[in-house]
């Protein structure tokens, strides 16, 4: 039975990389952990993009207008797919040939810019003590996708995208994306306790089998 979206390990190092990882892309029928608007709302609270109070506001708005809930989920999925294409293009030396389609990444950037432009149009300036802040998510029905669009912008313009990695699929990894924050850029696995140790154990078993003497 698949994990609940809130049980997924947060390995991305940034909320929107964890968003990308909510879709299992391997196999013939990928599993989407953001199965509905309720899952999206719970995940958004889990990763800290919105507060519990904001989740209540969004829940009421989506409950009153189901079409808005579907639109919000569709917008987030669209941002997720766009980010995936852009991040793949930023990754160098991917192990399974999945990286680097500049044309697809360019089209994705156009779509992401449109999503952010809409979010920015709904944002407003707020005087907070002695500081003015630009607050995204002022419209409850669009609060979640607007916050995610803001976070996507933060990743793309503020993070070092040469540090984006993909858990190596051909070596037995899961394909999740993450930011490598190690000093020497040596991180290879989403989590050593999961994919890393599993691959090491598999290799050890294979070596032991290979070292066994042939049966007479």
Q: Tell me the pLDDT tens digit for each residue of 110-164.
A: 999 999 999 999 999 999 888 999 999 999 999 999 999 999 999 999 999 999 9
Please say whether the beta carbons of 44 and 147 come within 8 A.
yes
pLDDT category of residue 169 using cuts at 50, 70 and 90: confident
HSE of 197 in the Cβ direction (CA atoms, 13 Å)? 4
Mean pLDDT estimate for the chain? 87
The tens digit of pLDDT for each residue in 186-215 reads 888 888 766 855 544 444 344 444 455 555
Residue 93: predicted pLDDT = 56
**pLDDT over 80 at 98, yes or no:** no
Residue 101: predicted pLDDT = 86
**What are the Cα distances from residue 75, in Å, to 2, 54, 181, 204?**
24, 18, 29, 44
Residue 107: predicted pLDDT = 97
Picking from 159, 137, 158, the residue whose alpha carbon sits closest to that of residue 148 is 137
Residue 206: predicted pLDDT = 42
Residue 91: predicted pLDDT = 87
Ramachandran quadrant class, 177 (left: phi over 0; alpha: psi -120 to 50; beta: rest): beta
- As a whole-number percent, the residues of the chain with pLDDT over 90 amount to 67
Report the pLDDT averaged over residues 94-108. Answer: 76
Please say whether the beta carbons of 196 and 203 come within 8 A.
no
Picking from 102, 9, 75, the residue whose alpha carbon sits closest to that of residue 47 is 9
The whole-angstrom separation of Cα 13 and Cα 80 is 16
Residue 205: predicted pLDDT = 44
Residue 212: predicted pLDDT = 56
pTM of the model: 0.86
């Amino acid at each position: 039975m698949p994990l609940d979206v809130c049980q997924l390990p947060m390995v991305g190092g940034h909320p929107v990389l964890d968003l990308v990882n909510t879709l299992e892309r391997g196999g013939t029928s990928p599993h989407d952990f953001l199965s509905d608007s309720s899952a999206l709302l719970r995940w958004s609270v889990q990763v800290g993009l919105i507060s519990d109070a904001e989740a209540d506001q969004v829940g009421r708005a989506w409950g009153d207008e189901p079409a808005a809930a579907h639109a919000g989920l569709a917008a987030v999925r669209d941002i997720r797919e766009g980010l995936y294409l852009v991040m793949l293009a930023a990754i160098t030396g991917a192990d399974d040939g999945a990286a680097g389609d500049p044309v697809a990444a360019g089209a994705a950037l156009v779509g992401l810019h449109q999503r952010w432009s809409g979010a920015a149009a709904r944002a407003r300036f707020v005087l907070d003590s002695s500081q003015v802040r630009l607050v995204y998510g002022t419209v409850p029905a669009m609060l979640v996708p607007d916050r995610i669009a803001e976070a996507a912008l933060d990743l793309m313009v503020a993070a070092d995208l040469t540090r984006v990695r993909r858990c190596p699929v051909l070596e037995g990894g899961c394909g999740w994306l993450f930011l490598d924050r190690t000093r020497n850029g040596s991180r290879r696995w989403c989590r050593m306790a999961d994919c890393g140790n599993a691959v090491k154990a598999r290799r050890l078993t294979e070596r032991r089998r290979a070292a066994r003497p042939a049966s007479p």
